[in-house]
Structure formats: structure tokens, C-alpha cells
Amino acid sequence: MFISFEGTEGVGKTTLIRKLHDHFQNLGKNVVLTREPGGTPMAEQIRALLLAVNHDEAMSDDTELLLMYAARAQHLARVILPALAESKIVLCDRFADSSFAYQCAGRGLDRDKLNVLNASFVARIPDITFWLDAPIETGMLRARERGALDRFEQEKAAFFEKVRSGFAEIHQTHPERMKRLDATQTPEHVFQQALSHLQQI
């Protein structure tokens, strides 16, 4: 099973994934915890390039999109597809829905570009996606307690509102795959919401 976790910054994806990872391990399941952009040594190098704030030149939106997909292609080939072939459970912190929400809804890139990339390079979509949803302010406050901000975190609230609308659009279009979790609740309550969806499938 391939499970992805989506949402705007600081909504608690990493916290939920760790809880689910422990839960599956306690059940004796073979589970892989991974993330995007990143998840392999090479893809993590691309992640560093994407998140760095001190470039001498501004990264173009197209470059950002293509780097996300270069990292994703490597991640799929080296981690996700091999793990699924071995019947492991893959828990992935962000996947292609983030590209729609950030690069199309957020940056304003043409969704035809994304459709071409998905059709060409994304051989497998998640079986279930948890969209952790909370007001932008809530996530920003949680995330920013950590200190230094990366290139995305430096964006203004208006950008993240567009990203949140992008996730809402996917949720509306694919309600069978994407499940909305109320991320304003406590970590334990968010975990219980996710478990109840998983039990249903």
C-alpha cells in the first residue's frame, strides 16, 4: 500500500507519519517512511537545491517544477516502486499532489505541463492520501517556531492560501483517494482520524 501525506507547511504531516510508522511496525508490518522532494541520496541533493535561499539567481517556476519531477523520478525508481514490489507499506511525506498545489495553484503554472509530467513519469499514484488541513496561520505558527525559514517557508500567507485551495480542489475531484483530516486537533486525534480511514479500506 502506498500512502501519501499532504498539506501546507507545519500542519503535522511528519508527526502523523511517525505515529503511523510506529503503529505499523508494532503490528509487524514492513513499512518504509520516506519524503519528497528527497527520499534517496541524489533526490535529497535536489531537495537541498530547491529549498536553499541563498541562490545568486532566482529559481524560475519551470525550473522548480522540473527539479521536483527529477527528484520524484529518482525516488520512484529507487525507493517507492521497489518497496511496493516487495509488498511493503510506503508512507510518503508529500507526493505529486504537492506539485499541483504548490506549482500550479500556488505559482500559477499551467496544469497541462503537470499533466504531461505525471503521464510521463509517475507510474504509480498513492492508494490513499491524507490531506492534513488547517488554517494557514496555525501551520505557520507551528512551523516557524523551528527557526530559519527555507525558500518555500519565506512565501507570504497569500501564497499558502492558494496552495490550500489547490489541495481542496484535489480533494473535491478525488474524494475516494484523498481524505481530509482536521489538523487543528491534537496529534493523537489526527492519528485516530487517519486510522479510522485506514480501517475502512
Site string for ligand Z5A, 102-141 (x = CB under 6 A): xx--------------------------------------
Say how many CA atoms lie within 13 Å of 78 toward its Cβ. 15
36-75: burial string, b at 16+ Cβ within 10 Å, e else: bbbbbeebeebbebbeeeeeeeeeebeebbebbbbbbbbb
The answer to whether the annotation marks 179 as part of a ligand binding site is no
With contact defined as beta carbons under 8 Å apart, do 106 and 163 qualify? Answer: yes
Judged by CB under 6 A, does residue 91 bind ligand Z5A? no
With contact defined as beta carbons under 8 Å apart, do 144 and 153 qualify? Answer: yes
Take residue 25 and report the three cell numbers written for it: 511496525
Query: What's the closest the beta carbon of residue 175 comes to ligand Z5A, in angstroms?
Result: 21
Lookup result for grid cell 519528497: 36
Judged by CB under 6 A, does residue 61 bind ligand Z5A? no
- Among 2, 3, 36, 90, the residue binding ligand Z5A under the rule CB under 6 A is 36
Judged by CB under 6 A, does residue 180 bind ligand Z5A? no
Judged by CB under 6 A, does residue 60 bind ligand Z5A? no
The answer to whether the annotation marks 186 as part of a ligand binding site is no
Judged by CB under 6 A, does residue 14 bind ligand Z5A? yes
Judged by CB under 6 A, does residue 142 bind ligand Z5A? yes
Phi, psi of 11 (to 5 degrees): -80, -10
Q: Which long-range contacts (CB under 8 A, 24 or more apart) does 54-61 make?
A: 59/151, 61/103, 61/107, 61/108, 61/109
The answer to whether the annotation marks 8 as part of a ligand binding site is yes
Query: What's the closest the beta carbon of residue 93 comes to ligand Z5A, in angstroms?
Result: 6
| Site for ligand Z5A, rule CB under 6 A | 7, 9-15, 36-37, 68, 93-94, 98-99, 102-103, 142-143, 152-153, 186-187, 190
Annotated binding site for ATP: 7-14
